[in-house]
Structure 1
Amino acid sequence: MQLLYLVFGKNVQVHFQTNFSILSFLRQGPGIITSIKLVTDSPDFYRHLGSAVTIEAIDAAILNEWQGEYKFFWRAKIKALELVAQQQPDIPLLYLDTDTFLHGSLSQLSQQLATGTAFMHEAEGSLAALTSKTERLMWQQVQGKPFGGVIIQEKHQMWNAGVVALPATHNLEAIALALRICDEMCALRVTSRLIEQFSLSVALTETYPMQEARPYIGHYWSTKDEWNASISTFLLESHLKQRTVAEELAALADFNFQQHPIKKKIRNTEHRLHRLVSKLLPPRSIEFIAPSPKK
């Protein structure tokens, strides 16, 4: 099994997340993981991992090219999958968002991939039945229409794309189908926020039997603040103690993976109240250090 991360930009918290995710997989990786590919424009954040990872360096020009004719940013995720699958099409491929970690059996996940089962993180429901404004609008725009030769019907589910796992069979065909669906939706000006996610959902369900990766992999997209704080503390301690990768893996045995929820739904009313209170009661007595006098 080969792992793939697409990481770009200079936000250090994103790179903290990626490092932590990689370590969580390395704990179970020997004999299962053949390579860990980092497609990134910031390789310096991964030097200490040494030979444990392979860097695929990209720059702004490549990212721009991957966005395609319609400049859809998240088309780059599908292109990264294509790049790595083309390099080693005979090895199962597991793509991971940065805000993920392994908590279940990698061996069991690998065995299911070997039987021809594909994975995405979780099934969110039929697009026709989802209730957000974006999802309702998207369904109105795509229902009954062909994209990539697939007519979108009520049976087509939206899957969370924080994890995308492809067996070693038909992976290039599935990725090519996802790209066609994505590009044709962009051409029709379908609301863009979830296009790459739905394109992968449709392409994989049209190609493989599907399972949720949630029993194996945590995806804390809705609780990043809590997880970022704990992960930053863990990696800062590693830095200060100058831990080797082997010592970091040993230290993970004491990391409490149950300390934070991986999903939390917060009502919009709470967000609005927080913004209102911040506006009505701004902080007072703010001080900064004085700048040094110019010589």
Structure 2
Amino acid sequence: MRLLYLVFGNNLQNHFQAHFSILSFLRQKSSDLAGITVVTDAPDFYQHLTQAITVHALDARTLEEWQGQYAFFWRAKIKALEYAVRQHPGAPLLYLDTDTFLHGSLAQMSQELATGTAFMHEAEGALASLTSKTERRMWQQVKDRSFGGVAMHGQRVMWNAGVVGIPAAQNLEAIELALRICDELCEQQVMPRLIEQFALSVALAETYMLRAARPYIGHYWSTKDDWNAGISAFFLESHLKKRTVEAELEALSSFDYQKLPIKKKVRNTQRRLEKLVHRLFPPKQVDFIA
């Protein structure tokens, strides 16, 4: 099994997250982990891990090409999967968003991938029954139609794409199907926010038995502030102590993964009130060095 990360931009927290996720897998490194590829436009941020990973420098032109005819930004995720599969066609592939970490058995997950089970992080429900404004609008736009030659009926499930595991058999076929679905959704001007996620959900379900990766991998997409604080403290301590990668792996053994929540729902009313309070009561007496 090979791991794949796609990380771009200068937000240091995203790169801290990627490092933390990679370390969580290296803790269980064995013959089950054949390699780790990081596709990034900031390769200098990965020098510390140079002995453990392969970095593919992503330039602006390639990123634009990966976004395709309709300039859909997250199409690049599917193209990164295609790139990795073409580099290593005979290996199962596990793509991970940066805000993830391994907490289950890598060997068991690798075995399931090797025997033809695909993974995404978790099923969010049939698109026809999801309740957000984006999902309701998306279902109205796709229902009873076909995209990529696949009929969109009421049982089509939306999966979270923070984790995407693809077995070696039929890997290019599955990715090419996801690209066709993605491009046709873009062509028909379907609500764009979840297009690549839905395209991967449908393509993998059509090609493989699809299971949730959540028993193996944590994905803290809704609690990033909590995790970013803990991860930043971990790497600040690493910097001050000049830890090697091996020392970081040892230190990670005492990191309390259960202390921080991986999911938290905050009501929109709370967000609006917080914004209102910040606007009504801005900071006072803000001074800078003259």
The answer, yes or no, to whether TM exceeds 0.5 is yes
Identity %: 67
Amino acid at match of 1:111: Q
Q: What secondary structure, in the 3-state scheme, does the structure 2 residue paired with 1:210 have? A: strand
Alignment of 1:24-173 (within 5 A): 24-173=24-173
SS in 1 for 2:234: helix
Moved more, 49-58 or 66-75: 49-58
**Equivalent residue letter for 1:195:** I
State the Cα distance separating 1:192 from its structure 2 match: 0.3
- 2:273 is aligned to 273
> How far did 1:50 drift?
1.8
CA deviation map 1:160-194 (0-9, x unaligned): 00000001111100000000000000000001000
Whether 2:221 is the aligned partner of 1:221: answer yes
Inter-partner Cα distance in structure 2 for 1:15 and 1:114 = 29
| Partner of residue 196, structure 2 | 196
1:4-52 per-residue CA deviation (whole Å, 9 max, x = no partner) reads 0000111111000000000000000221111100001101111011220
Q: CA deviation at 1:3?
A: 0.2
Paired with 1:71 and 1:12, the residues of 2 have a C-alpha distance of 25
CA distance in 2, matches of 1:7, 1:282: 34
Q: 2 CA distance for matches of 1:282 and 1:239?
A: 34
The DSSP-based 3-state class of the residue aligned with 2:68 is coil
Distance (Å, rounded) in 2 between the aligned partners of 1:195 and 1:143: 14
C-alpha deviation, 1:71, in angstroms = 0.3
- 1:8 has 2:46 as partner: no
Distance 1:200 1:217 in 2: 18
Q: Does 1:180 align with 2:183?
A: no
How many residue pairs get aligned? The number is 290
Q: What TM-score results when the alignment is normalised by the length of structure 1?
A: 0.97
Question: What is the deviation of 1:158?
Answer: 0.2
Shift of 1:240: 1.1
The amino acid across from 1:22 in the alignment is I
Give the Å deviation of 1:275: 1.0
User: Cα offset for 1:76?
Assistant: 0.1
Q: Which runs of 5+ in 2 are unaligned?
A: none
Amino acid across the alignment from 1:174: A
Aligned-partner residue type, residue 283 of structure 2: P
TM-score w.r.t. the length of structure 2 is: 0.99
Q: Separation in 1 of the partners of 2:67 and 2:2?
A: 24
Residues 212-234 of structure 1: CA deviation (Å, up to 9, x unaligned)? 00010000000000100000010
Query: Structure 1 unaligned runs (5+)?
Result: 291-295
